[in-house]
């Protein structure tokens, strides 16, 4: 049980990479009051939790509706996760997550940025969504699924605390510190994506009757 919680928590933390979102969060909330930034941090975390929980419980039925196998999802998700990992390693995280300059400028002119672009696609992107859908298939025990939901809640709390402290963390870590952490996360994310693809290929090969 504890292993499931720890694995899902750190897998989500690596894929979501809330530390890498600090510079963009600061840019999008530039000029906001402390209370406004706290509110945006809270709603961003809540939106991420809702998105991940819905993906976890409803994603399987969406796959069945479209006739997509879980191994196909794992391969597609692995590719997306690998792409995010490469982006983190190469420093192209913002571009990879779809946060273009035009989107950033538009977001600064809107009153609520917690859902888009912060929760989607900045944090809860295709990689984390596919991870949650695959986890529902991998862990059928009810206790394990409860642990996964608790891990999602823990990630939400972590996102809130990180974004709420974004100004302080940016000063403490500096640009080079955030980049270094993002590169480490990128390596872990890349490994997760590769492992997803390997597991799916192994399952497909085992299912073939020679």
Q: Where are the domains of the chain?
A: 2-207
Say which DSSP state 111 is in: S
pLDDT, residue 111, reads 47
- The pLDDT tens digits along the chain (210 residues) read 568 999 999 999 988 988 888 888 888 887 788 899 999 999 999 999 999 999 999 988 888 888 888 888 888 888 887 887 787 777 665 544 544 554 445 544 444 788 878 888 788 888 898 899 989 988 989 999 999 999 999 999 999 999 999 988 888 877 778 778 778 877 887 888 888 889 888 888 888 765
State the Cα–Cα distance between residues 50 and 195, nearest whole angstrom: 26
Q: Where are the beta strands (DSSP E) in 32-185?
A: none
| Euclidean distance between CA atoms 93 and 100, whole angstroms | 11
| CA Rg value for the chain | 17
Structure tokens at 96: 């990879």
Q: What is the pTM of this model?
A: 0.78
Q: Count of CB atoms within 10 A of residue 178's CB?
A: 18
pLDDT tens-place string over residues 119-164:
887 888 888 988 999 899 889 899 999 999 999 999 999 999 999 9
Which residues in 128-166 are b (16+ Cβ under 10 Å) and which e?
Answer: bbbbbbbbbeebeeeebbebbbebbebbbebbbebbbeb
């Amino acid at each position: 049980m504890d292993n499931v919680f720890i694995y899902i928590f750190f897998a989500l933390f690596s894929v979501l990479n809330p530390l890498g979102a600090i510079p963009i969060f600061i840019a999008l909330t530039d000029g906001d009051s402390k209370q406004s930034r706290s509110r945006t941090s809270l709603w961003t975390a809540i939106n991420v939790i809702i998105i991940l929980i819905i993906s976890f419980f409803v994603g399987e039925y969406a796959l069945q509706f479209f006739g997509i196998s879980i191994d196909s999802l794992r391969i597609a998700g692995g590719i997306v996760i690998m792409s995010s990992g490469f982006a983190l390693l190469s420093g192209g995280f913002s571009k990879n997550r779809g946060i273009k300059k035009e989107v950033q400028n538009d977001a600064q002119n809107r009153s609520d940025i917690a859902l888009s672009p912060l929760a989607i696609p900045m944090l809860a992107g295709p990689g984390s969504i596919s991870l949650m859908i695959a986890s529902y298939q991998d862990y059928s025990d009810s206790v394990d699924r409860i642990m996964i939901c608790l891990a999602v809640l823990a990630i939400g709390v972590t996102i809130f605390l990180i974004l709420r402290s974004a100004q302080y963390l940016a000063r403490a870590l500096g640009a080079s510190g955030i980049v270094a952490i993002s590169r480490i996360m990128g390596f872990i994310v890349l490994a997760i994506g590769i492992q997803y693809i390997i597991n799916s290929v192994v399952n497909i090969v085992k299912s073939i009757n020679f």
